[in-house]
Amino acid sequence: MITTTFPHRIDVHHHVIPPAFSKAMEDSGQVLVAGAPLPKWSVQRSLRLMDLQGIQTAVLSLSAPGVYFGSELAAIYLARACNDFCADVARRWPERFGFFAVLPMPFTGPACAEAVRALDILGADGVVLLGSTDGRFLGDSHFDELMAELDRRGSTVFVHPNLHTTSRQLSLDMPGFLVEFLCDTTRAATNLILSGTMERYSRIRWILAHAGGFLPYIAWRLSLANMMSVGNDKAPHGVLTYIRRFWFDTALSPSPYAMAALNELVGPSKILFGSDFPFAPEPVTGLQIRQMDSLGCFDAAQKMTIDRTNALALFPKWAVRGELPHDLPPHSSAGWATLIKRLAIKPVIALADSVRNR
């Protein structure tokens, strides 16, 4: 039996399904999202779940496949319609909802324009970007103009997975959300690091869905790029430093194995509560919360930071009376000594690369 708790959690992974999006899915003949049926959603349904599960505020976001169904113009109009819908919900229930604005990706110019409109006029709390859209991963130089715009504003970006073209071509008889979603997030995060995007646009605050996919599990392996020119040039502070700059949500990932690895890698201060509602329906959301509450790798104070306090560093407007929102932690840095050492080994790395590539 689920017991009602006082509303304190801040849910950074809570999906919205606006009427315009439902119609676009129907018009395109799509009834599944990565193998899962498009669920029914309403403000009232979200509020009922939130009240039952102790969620004070949910940050709404659109899930895959985003707003691009083959037409650039239609993607622009659909993004505007979805963001207007979310802004209206946030205006009517300001204590209960915020939203990440969806952008008409992969069209960089229109995406920049919609980001400016959503952040400056509609009051969006950040933007949601899919790990890949139309075959392009985040970190692609095609998106540099958008990254620069988001960096100037110190924007929060919620990275949600999509099904990449290659995932659709696999002959695996299983829904894409089980494994391929996690691949998309991991590839996007890795590309953000090794393309130099995180180094060039260091003011962007990134949240990775589903505990970062496989990123925490393969973090040490990825750090081997430090000994290659791609890592040394594009990620001069070391790959692990950039991985620790991400925030990670708990959506559909509250297992003791995943959370122990994430806690060891980044610590509880970079973990945020996420439900994945309504794709994770009411019983599954309750199960996730009970599972998180039972974990032994976090004490009670750390669980509260995950449920609420860490999110206040990103969204201080939801602090209640008398509650001091935490300041954003500074980006970790390898320090000058480490940088000097890394610069010193560049000739060695270059020689090793030339021998390896023969």
Element (DSSP H or E) covering residue 177: none
Of 151-165, 166-180, 239-253, 266-280, the one with minimum mean pLDDT is 166-180
Element (DSSP H or E) covering residue 158: strand 156-160
Per the model's pLDDT, the better-predicted residue between 335 and 271 turns out to be: 271
pLDDT, tens only, 277-301? 999 999 999 999 999 999 999 999 9
Strand pairing of 36-37 and 32-33? antiparallel
15 phi, psi to nearest 5 deg: -90, 150
What is the structure's pLDDT at 350? 45
Q: Report how far apart the first and last C-alpha atoms of the chain are (Å, whole number).
A: 64
Percentage of the residues of the chain whose pLDDT score is greater than 70 = 89
pTM as predicted: 0.90
How confident is the model over 212-239, as a mean pLDDT? 92
pLDDT, tens only, 83-100? 999 999 999 999 999 999
Percentage of the residues of the chain whose pLDDT score is greater than 90 = 79
Confidence check: pLDDT of 302 > 70: yes
Quick one: pLDDT band at residue 174, thresholds 50, 70, 90?
A: confident
User: Structural domains in the chain?
Assistant: 9-333 (3.20.20.140)
Structural contact between residues 35 and 180, judged by C-beta atoms closer than 8 angstroms = no
Confidence check: pLDDT of 335 > 80: no
Confidence check: pLDDT of 4 > 70: no
